[in-house]
Structure 1
Amino acid sequence: MLQDILLIASSAGGAAGNAQALTEMGFSNLMHEMIADPVEFLVSWAVLIMLVVMSVGSWWFTIVNAIKNTVVAARADTVVRTFWETPNAQDAIRFMEEQPANEPFSKIALDCAQAAAHHQRHEGSRLVDALNRSEFIDRALRQAVTRESARLENGLTWLATVGATAPFVGLLGTVWGIYGALIRIGATGQASIDAVAGPVGEALIMTALGLFVAIPAVLAYNAFVRANRNTYAKFDTFAHDLHDFFATGSRVGEVPAKR
């Protein structure tokens, strides 16, 4: 009977110890483990700080690009339609000059208009001999479209990099936590839950943090790439119409516009 009572008490104590050990798998214990061990401090804090920087940068570029793409998409049709519906070319150009500095369609139109005016002012010069009006305008349009496309891609490299590397940065913390658990087992000679709960909890937290940083970055990157692809198509359409207008005096399929 006494042995049965001692066995039951031992089992109860072991269950209580395991329950207590499981409480050491939280984020507060992670901070304690990182502060207590100097090597742990350097490696784990380096991983944690890197993940925080990645996350902050990703959310910054996500918010900035979301606002930028929303504004561009909302104003694109209005800007383009107003340009073509304005009877006088000078008034249309003046309208484009009044657009915000971050409005891409107006900047493409202005570069095209400036190229056409520059070529016209230098008729009879070597410039005109080297490049005809159509070629000169086409070159200006290509440069403008490339420049505005690059501006839309600002931050996408960061998002792609974070999405690809953040899981592995978290995995580094995971590997280090498992390594710490094995070291503790070797030092104590015990493989009980209370011996490995802390390092294993740290490993799981680092894995979760890596995924938490990477998944929003990947989703944002894919969303912006798709949105930019639609904007690039509008750039090309608008650029072709501008080329026809400033090179021939009218868009394809339309009566020559008043200039």
Structure 2
Amino acid sequence: MLLETLSAAAAPAGGNAASALTQMGVGHLLQEMTANPGAFAVSWAVLLTLLLMSGMSIYWIVMNFIKNMRLRATSDRVISTFWETPNAQDAIRYMEEQPRSEPFSKIALDAAQAAAHHQRHEGSRLVESLNRSEFVDRALRQAVGRESQRLEAGLTVLATTGSTAPFVGLLGTVWGIYGALIRIGATGQASIDAVAGPVGEALIMTALGLFVAIPAVLAYNYFVRLNRVTNAKFDTFAHDLHDFFATGARVGEAPARQ
């Protein structure tokens, strides 16, 4: 008799626990949100915001990865070809043939155009106010700044996603727990199946926020490091270009191309 009583008491408890587990999944949460969208308006807003953040983050991760891989594959070739070309006009022509997205060629072309513009206006007020070295230096600074800014495209989105997505998910969790407590108070049921399901579903929002934020943070740090290396190459190339277009040769070399 005692064993039968214990078995009967344990069966509902096991059934309640199993029922609670079936109510803690993503599928059950989406089912409830779809069935009653008005009651889950905040949850829908949080979910859609996280999906938007995730989509934008993935887009910029892919775009920046492709851009950096192309840049790494072509930058050394572009720089070496420019310096190894015997004739300056041929070197500039080679830079003009590069794609619009290639930054080193654009920096070299800006320097060449600045030097040519200054040479064409010898005897004018332009030459009197700025010598050739200063004029080329100003053009190079503008070109390096422009290309550095292009490298940073999408990093603001990744940084914003990485810093705010966990809090967006936490908002969904807090609101979900608040709604669960209201439903529990209204029904007067505080059993495990009444509490675990709603609370577990609410915690899914925090997990989604972390799932969106972590890749964005890792990608942001990775691309910032790559950009730092590329900016250093920009500066080195710009200094060599300044020496060449201002004096006719790089530092340590005799004038070879005119």
TM-score (norm 2): 0.97
> Aligned AA for 1:125?
S
After TM superposition, the structure 1 stretch with the greater mean CA deviation from structure 2, 156-165 or 187-196, is: 187-196
Aligned pair count reads: 258
Which residue of the partner structure matches residue 80 of structure 1? 79
> Aligned AA for 2:195?
V
| Superposed displacement of residue 38, structure 1 | 4.3
> Aligned AA for 2:70?
V
Q: Would the aligned equivalents of 2:78 and 2:105 in 1 still touch at CA under 8 Å?
A: yes
Which residue of the partner structure matches residue 34 of structure 1? 33
Q: Would the aligned equivalents of 1:22 and 1:193 in 2 still touch at CA under 8 Å?
A: no
Q: Distance in 1 between matches of 2:49 and 2:182?
A: 25
Which residue of the partner structure matches residue 205 of structure 1? 204
Which residue of the partner structure matches residue 114 of structure 1? 113
Which residue of the partner structure matches residue 164 of structure 2? 165
> Aligned AA for 1:220?
A
Which residue of the partner structure matches residue 175 of structure 2? 176
| Superposed displacement of residue 41, structure 1 | 2.5
Q: Would the aligned equivalents of 2:37 and 2:44 in 1 still touch at CA under 8 Å?
A: no
| Superposed displacement of residue 6, structure 1 | 3.3
> Aligned AA for 1:99?
Q
Can you give the 5+ residue segments of structure 1 that lack an aligned partner in the other structure? none
> Aligned AA for 1:133?
R
Identity %: 74
Give a deviation string over 1:91-115, Cα, whole Å, max 9, x none: 0000000111100000000000000
* Alpha-carbon RMSD: 1.2
Can you give the 5+ residue segments of structure 2 that lack an aligned partner in the other structure? none
Q: Distance in 2 between matches of 1:88 and 1:211?
A: 56
Q: Distance in 1 between matches of 2:3 and 2:175?
A: 42
Which residue of the partner structure matches residue 154 of structure 1? 153
Give a deviation string over 1:172-212, Cα, whole Å, max 9, x none: 11111211221122112222111123321222211111011
Misfit runs of 4+, over 4 Å: none
> Aligned AA for 2:178?
Y
> Aligned AA for 2:148?
S
> Aligned AA for 2:203?
L
| Superposed displacement of residue 244, structure 1 | 0.3
Query: What is the SS of the residue equivalent to 1:40?
Result: coil
| Superposed displacement of residue 232, structure 1 | 0.1
After TM superposition, the structure 1 stretch with the greater mean CA deviation from structure 2, 176-185 or 84-93, is: 176-185
1:252 aligns with 2:254: no
1:212-227 paired onto structure 2 within 5 Å = 212-227=211-226
Query: What is the SS of the residue equivalent to 1:25?
Result: coil
Q: Would the aligned equivalents of 2:23 and 2:198 in 1 still touch at CA under 8 Å?
A: no
Q: Distance in 2 between matches of 1:192 and 1:72?
A: 60
Give a deviation string over 1:51-95, Cα, whole Å, max 9, x none: 000001000000000000010111111100000001100000000
Q: Distance in 2 between matches of 1:258 and 1:242?
A: 13
1:16 aligns with 2:12: no
> Aligned AA for 1:175?
V
| Superposed displacement of residue 157, structure 1 | 0.3
Which residue of the partner structure matches residue 105 of structure 1? 104
Q: Distance in 2 between matches of 1:164 and 1:178?
A: 23
Q: Would the aligned equivalents of 1:24 and 1:198 in 2 still touch at CA under 8 Å?
A: yes
Q: Distance in 1 between matches of 2:197 and 2:48?
A: 20
